[in-house]
A and B are shown apart, each in its own frame.
Chain A
């Protein structure tokens, strides 16, 4: 099942900081949810194709014609730290 170490691993994959108390809650809750999910394992699914899209659609091609889009000024309007015509971020550091 899912233990503390695994919770911390998944949180790192998700780029999500969790406090110690939040890790404890996840360790408590996630196994109960996942054991409900695992009821699916009782089904015989041999040879069943997976479904990722439920409504039949066919690929449609169009000409690749350039057209105007948002523009840099608009795109940067909501940025927390716009810098030098782009999105400012802190240094990637050592990690």
Chain B
């Protein structure tokens, strides 16, 4: 081969394959060997060989690591839950089908928090994932396996899902790029559901251009997901080098709980936005601080309904009992992990008779207020910039005993999820030797504008990821 895939970003590898400078089969084998050598717990399954991905698509045969909750026909797909141990779906998710059609075979299935419920990937039914920057620390979650694999160089790129921050927060903690699209931009068909009004599929990559290339393959209406839409603007590959005329609103730098080292790096990145020609001001999002409260009603409520299907009847685990009700109850006890049980309890409580209006009804109204806050903000600015995670990667075990402290990891990401807005995390530096992410978000369907701004800023910031050759 005339180029080393370890030294190229995924889109450059794709271009080299398409230009005949790299061999597609050798590229797959290169990444398969790296994936098989993973020692961080990133993978739950690695492919033996390339599947039937299209030969000439724009993704150039560069294999993609896929979060376990994406159904792939015949391939173990468990959402990292013991209740789906051994489950091999009879059909393939639209996201994976679209990537294959665009030329990317599946490299492997990545570890995650069980049913995507968590911010550290410690809730996996198959063991935790470790952060490649410091293996005593978490990679974030719930798409922690995808983030760790890309950061450590055991995958060229990956997809994950984001319900309240599950792409952006692990991308931030692992020093890579992660994007949550506008709700509806990518089909949810074949994604094992967590919270249906929030779940979105998106890329985790080394570079902004890689993220844009995967996004361009993923978006589009799907008759099998009635909430999916044709993206009105499509995804353009980013070219911007300057931010002249871009109005950027800053939110959340004065919040209690934001680590000073994180705040410093975010302020420096905002300085870079200004030096590239952007006009920076502060924006007020008066209800965003209530995002976590609303989210921890809405997401568990939807989860409690979505997870009702795991009952030991049609697929997955069954704990044998002599009567039907005991079989249901024992199967769900044995199959679900602690955090999943906790969320089912919160959600069932919030939806139960006499509490529905006080919790779910109120949370939906707070959601309206947050949507309105953003609408007001985007009358004055083009993009909003915030931290992604209030802290750098924390130690394994540090927050497992206190669920609320874990939930607050998503303080900065959840408001954008509740409003269905597109948002990206890009690395903006190291604090205590650990990566810090910057969040850039915009109005619905502004993905290309976000990617352009992130592209210009990425070059200016010059963040160096972990070496992988």
**In the complex, are the beta carbons of B362 and A94 less than 8 A apart?**
no
**In the complex, are the beta carbons of B341 and A18 less than 8 A apart?**
yes
Chain A residues with Cβ under 8 A from B367's Cβ?
Answer: 50-51, 54
Q: How far is the CB of B325 from chain A (nearest CB, A)?
A: 5
B366 at the interface (CB under 8 A from A): yes
Chain A residues with Cβ under 8 A from B323's Cβ?
Answer: 90-95
A22 at the interface (CB under 8 A from B): yes
B312 at the interface (CB under 8 A from A): yes
Closest to B88 in A: A78
**In the complex, are the beta carbons of A55 and B352 less than 8 A apart?**
no
Chain B residues with Cβ under 8 A from A49's Cβ?
Answer: 365, 368
**In the complex, are the beta carbons of B344 and A14 less than 8 A apart?**
yes
CA distance A13 to B350 in the complex (A): 12
**In the complex, are the beta carbons of A90 and B327 less than 8 A apart?**
yes
**In the complex, are the beta carbons of A54 and B346 less than 8 A apart?**
no
**In the complex, are the beta carbons of A57 and B293 less than 8 A apart?**
no
B267 at the interface (CB under 8 A from A): no
Q: Mark B89-122, 1 if CB is under 8 A from A, else 0.
A: 0110000000000000000000000000000000
B419 at the interface (CB under 8 A from A): yes
A14-B304, A16-B344, A53-B227 as given contacts; A93 in contact with B349, CB under 8 Å: no
- Report which of A13, A16, A80 forms a contact with B352, defined as CB distance below 8 A: A13
B313 at the interface (CB under 8 A from A): yes
- Report which of B320, B346, B420 forms a contact with A33, defined as CB distance below 8 A: B346
A50-B361, A51-B368, A93-B322 as given contacts; A26 in contact with B342, CB under 8 Å: yes
CA distance A70 to B89 in the complex (A): 11
- Report which of A6, A11, A17 forms a contact with B330, defined as CB distance below 8 A: A17
CA distance A2 to B364 in the complex (A): 22
**In the complex, are the beta carbons of B229 and A55 less than 8 A apart?**
yes
A89 at the interface (CB under 8 A from B): yes
Interface positions of A from 30 to 52, Cβ below 8 Å from B? 30, 32-34, 36-41, 43, 45, 48-52
Interface positions of B from 32 to 77, Cβ below 8 Å from A? none
Number of interface residues of A (CB under 8 A): 54
**In the complex, are the beta carbons of A17 and B329 less than 8 A apart?**
yes
**In the complex, are the beta carbons of B314 and A45 less than 8 A apart?**
no
CA distance A94 to B294 in the complex (A): 40
B251 at the interface (CB under 8 A from A): no
A30-B345, A43-B369, A48-B365 as given contacts; A57 in contact with B229, CB under 8 Å: yes
Chain B residues with Cβ under 8 A from A34's Cβ?
Answer: 346, 349
A48-B368, A57-B184 as given contacts; A89 in contact with B313, CB under 8 Å: yes
Chain B residues with Cβ under 8 A from A29's Cβ?
Answer: 342, 403
Q: How far is the CB of A12 from chain B (nearest CB, A)?
A: 8
B157 at the interface (CB under 8 A from A): no
B197 at the interface (CB under 8 A from A): yes
Q: How far is the CB of A58 from chain B (nearest CB, A)?
A: 10
B296 at the interface (CB under 8 A from A): yes
Number of interface residues of B (CB under 8 A): 69
CA distance A84 to B371 in the complex (A): 51
Chain A residues with Cβ under 8 A from B322's Cβ?
Answer: 90-91, 93
- Report which of B227, B318, B363 forms a contact with A81, defined as CB distance below 8 A: B318
CA distance A6 to B88 in the complex (A): 37
B409 at the interface (CB under 8 A from A): no
Which applies to chain A's interface (DSSP): helix, strand, loop or mixed?
loop
Q: Mark A58-95, 1 if CB is under 8 A from B, else 0.
A: 00100000000010001101111100000101111111
**In the complex, are the beta carbons of A50 and B365 less than 8 A apart?**
yes
A13-B352, A15-B332, A54-B420 as given contacts; A93 in contact with B325, CB under 8 Å: yes
| Most chain B beta carbons < 10 A, residue from A33, A41, A57 | A33
Closest to A79 in B: B314
**In the complex, are the beta carbons of B371 and A51 less than 8 A apart?**
yes
**In the complex, are the beta carbons of A79 and B313 less than 8 A apart?**
yes
CA distance A48 to B118 in the complex (A): 30
B463 at the interface (CB under 8 A from A): no
A14-B304, A52-B197 as given contacts; A36 in contact with B404, CB under 8 Å: yes
| Most chain B beta carbons < 10 A, residue from A38, A70, A90 | A90
B290 at the interface (CB under 8 A from A): yes
CA distance A64 to B88 in the complex (A): 30
**In the complex, are the beta carbons of A39 and B419 less than 8 A apart?**
no
Chain A residues with Cβ under 8 A from B346's Cβ?
Answer: 30, 33-34
**In the complex, are the beta carbons of B324 and A91 less than 8 A apart?**
yes
Chain B residues with Cβ under 8 A from A51's Cβ?
Answer: 364-365, 367-368, 371
**In the complex, are the beta carbons of B341 and A90 less than 8 A apart?**
no
**In the complex, are the beta carbons of A40 and B368 less than 8 A apart?**
no
B359 at the interface (CB under 8 A from A): yes
**In the complex, are the beta carbons of B366 and A16 less than 8 A apart?**
no
- Report which of A9, A36, A95 forms a contact with B292, defined as CB distance below 8 A: A36
- Report which of B184, B348, B364, B368 forms a contact with A55, defined as CB distance below 8 A: B184
Between A and B, 14 residue pairs with Cβ closer than 8 Å are A10-B352, A13-B352, A14-B332, A15-B311, A16-B341, A30-B346, A33-B403, A45-B365, A48-B365, A52-B197, A60-B226, A79-B313, A80-B317, A93-B324
Binding site for B on A (CB under 8 A): 2, 6-7, 9-11, 13-19, 22, 26, 29-30, 32-34, 36-41, 43, 45, 48-55, 57, 60, 70, 74-75, 77-81, 87, 89-95
